[in-house]
Chain A
Amino acid sequence: MSDFLLAALPIATILFLMIKMNWGAARAGAAAWFVTAVIAVFFFGAPTDMLVIAQAKGVMLALYILYIVWAALILYFAAEEAGAIKTIGRAIRSLTDDRPLQLLILGYVFASFLQGVAGFGVPIAVVAPLLLGMGFSPVLAVAAPMIGHSWSVLFGNMATSFEALIGVTGIPGTELTHYSAILLGLSGFTCGAAVLWLDGGFRTIRRRIVPLVLISGVMGVVQYCMANYGVWTLGGLTGGIAGLVTSIIVTRFWKSHPDDVAEQVHDDHAHMPLIEALTPYLVFIVLVTVATFAPGAEDFLGKVRFTLDFPETSTSLGWVIGAESAKAIAIFGHPGALLLYTAAISFAFFKLRGRYDDGIGKRIWQRTLKSGLPTSIGMVPVIGLAIIMDHAGMTYALAEGGAAIFSGAFAIAYPVISPAIGALGAFMTGSTNNSNVVFGMFQRHTAELSGLSTALILAAQATGASLGSMLAPSKILVGCSTVGLSGKEGPVLSVVLKTGVILTALCGFMALGILLITTMYGGA
C-alpha cells in the first residue's frame, strides 16, 4: 500500500500545484519530475543511469510530437494570415439562419475540423470570437467550441495524442483504433448534443435531433473508417471535413424554427473564394494520401531516420525494462514533415495570390513561437516523469493498487472509471497527449491485472483524455482572452466542468456497455 501511495505522489503533486496553486503545466510538471526522480531513486531502487536513459527516451518521444506541433502551427498561421480561416468561418455562418444550428455547425463541426488541422487551443481561439460576433453570449461563445471540439482531439492534429499512447504503451495502433474510434464517435454525438443544450436545453436538442444525428454520425463513421484503415493521422481532419460537407447538405433541406431565427450580421470585408481558403487542407490530404499509399513513397521519405538504441535497465528491486529503440523520426516522411511541405506550398500559393502583407514571414514565425514555446517547455518534464515512473516500476505499483480495488466482482466497474482517469489527466496536465503519456501504462497494467480487454481500457483512457481536454485551464484562458473575459474565467469553467463530468461519465457507461456486449458475444 505504501508503494501505491508513493507512486501516486507525482500525480498528486501535479494536481495540487495546478489546481490549488494555479501553476502552469510546465512548472507543475517540472516540480513533479523532481518528486518522481527522488521517489524512484530512494524508494523504488532506481539507479541514476536509469534516470538518464528514461529521460533520453522521454526526449525522443517529445521530439516526435513536437515536430508535428511546430509544423501544424506554422501551417495554421500561414493560412490564418492569408484570411483562409476567416473565410471558412464566414461560409459556415452563411449556411443557415437557424441560430442553434449555426451554433452546432460553428461550435461543434467547425471546431472539430480546426482540431483536425491545428489543435492546441486553436479551435477555441478561432470560433469563440466568431460566435460572439454573431450575438451569442461570451460564456456560450467560449464554452461551445471547448465542448464541441473535445471529442476530436485524439485523432485530430495528426493524431499526436494517439501516437503518444502507442509510444508509451508499446501496443500497435491497429489494435487500439477499433474501440477508440467507436467510443469517440459515440462521444461525438454527446458533445454535439451538449453544444445544442447550451442554447436552450433539451428542447433545442429535440428540435434538431435529425441534423445532429446525421452530422455526428457521418463524422464518427468517417473517423472510424480512416482510423481503422491505418491512416489515423487524418482521422480528425477527414471527420471534420465530412462534417462540414454534411452540414452544407443538411442546411439545404432544413427549415429553421420560427422561435430560433438568427439576426443577420453584415460583413463588408472582401471575401476569398472558399475553395482557395480550403487549399492548404486539400493539399495536405493529397500529400498524406500520396505518402501513405503511393508505392515506394514511404520507403523513399523514410530513408533518413533519427533514433537511439537504449540498453536494458533494472532497479535494485528487480523491475526490468528490456533493451529497445526509440520511436524513429523519419526526417522527411514524418507527419510533421508533411505539414511543413503543405505550409511551404500554401505560403507560396497565397503569396502568389497577393494575400499577404509585408513582413509576413516574420509575423508567422513570431506567432508560431508564441504559441509553440509554452507547449514545448511542458512536454519534456511531463513525458520524462511518465517514463521514469514506468521504468522504476511506479506505474506498475499504481496499477497494482488500482487492480486491488477493481479486482474480482468490482473488475466489471473499471471501464466506467477509466475515462474519468483519462479526463483527470487531461485536466491536470492541460493536454490529452500528456494524459495518455502519464496514464497510458497505468491503464494498460490495470487492465492486464484485472483481466479486462487492454484495447478497450486504453480506448476508454484515450476518449476520456480527449473529452477532458475541454477542461484544460490553458484552453479556457485562450478562449476567455478572445472574447474579453480575461480574469472572469469562473463562469466558463463552471459550465464546462459540469458538462465535462457528465460527458465523461456517459463515456464510461458506453465503455461498460461495449465490455458487456463483447463478453456476451464471446470475448473482447
Chain B
Amino acid sequence: MKQKLFNPVFLVLASIILPIASFEAMVIGSIAASDILFALFCAVMALIIVRK
C-alpha cells in the first residue's frame, strides 16, 4: 500500500486529475464533492513532501 501511494506515476496522475475533478464538481454545484477532492489533492501534496 505504501509503495503504491508513493509510486511516482500515481502521484503525477493524482496531482493532475484531482484539481480538475474538484473544479468540475464545483462548477456543477457539488460543493461537498469539490471539497473532498481538493482535500485529497492536499493529501497528495503531503505525500510528495514525505516522499524521498
Give A residues with C-beta under 8 Å from B. Answer: 26-27, 29-31, 33-34, 37, 48-49, 51-53, 55-56, 58-60, 62-63, 308, 310, 369, 373-374, 376-377, 380-381, 384
Contacts and interface: CB of A to CB of B under 8 A. Distances in A.
Interface string B31-52: 0001100100110011011011
B23 A308 contact: yes
A63 B38 contact: no
14 contacts: A27-B48, A30-B48, A31-B49, A48-B35, A52-B19, A53-B23, A55-B22, A55-B23, A58-B19, A59-B19, A60-B20, A369-B9, A377-B48, A381-B45
Contacts of A51: 38
Given A52-B19, A59-B19, A30 B26 contact: no
Given A51-B38, A52-B38, A377 B19 contact: no
B20 A56 contact: yes
A380 B8 contact: no
B27 to A, nearest CB: 8
Which of A33, A59, A374 counts the most B-chain CB atoms under 10 A from its CB?
A59
Interface in B15-31: 15-16, 19-20, 22-23, 26
Interface residues of B, number: 22
Interface of B: 8-9, 11-12, 15-16, 19-20, 22-23, 26, 34-35, 38, 41-42, 45-46, 48-49, 51-52
Contact of B11 (A29, A31, A63, A377): A377
A29 B38 CA distance: 18
A377 B34 CA distance: 22
Nearest to A378: B48
Contacts of B20: 56, 59-60, 308
A290 B5 CA distance: 44
Interface of B is mostly: helix
Nearest to A29: B48
A374 B15 CA distance: 13
A311 to B, nearest CB: 8
Interface of A is mostly: helix
A56 B11 contact: no
B47 to A, nearest CB: 8
B48 A55 contact: no
Given A52-B26, A377-B8, A59 B38 contact: no
A381 B51 contact: no
A377 B38 contact: no
Contacts of A37: 42
A30 B45 CA distance: 5
Given A52-B26, A55-B41, A377-B15, 19 more contacts: A27-B52, A30-B46, A34-B42, A48-B35, A51-B38, A52-B19, A55-B19, A56-B20, A56-B22, A59-B16, A60-B20, A63-B16, A373-B8, A373-B12, A377-B8, A377-B11, A381-B15, A381-B48, A384-B19
B23 A52 contact: yes
Contacts of B49: 27, 30-31, 34
Nearest to A33: B45
A30 B9 CA distance: 16
Give the top 10 A-B pairs by smallest Cβ distance, nearest first.
Answer: A56-B23, A30-B48, A380-B15, A55-B19, A373-B8, A376-B12, A30-B45, A30-B49, A59-B19, A56-B19
A48 B46 CA distance: 18
A221 B41 CA distance: 45
Nearest to A55: B19
Nearest to A51: B38
Contact of A34 (B9, B12, B16, B45): B45
Contacts of A52: 19, 22-23, 26, 34, 38
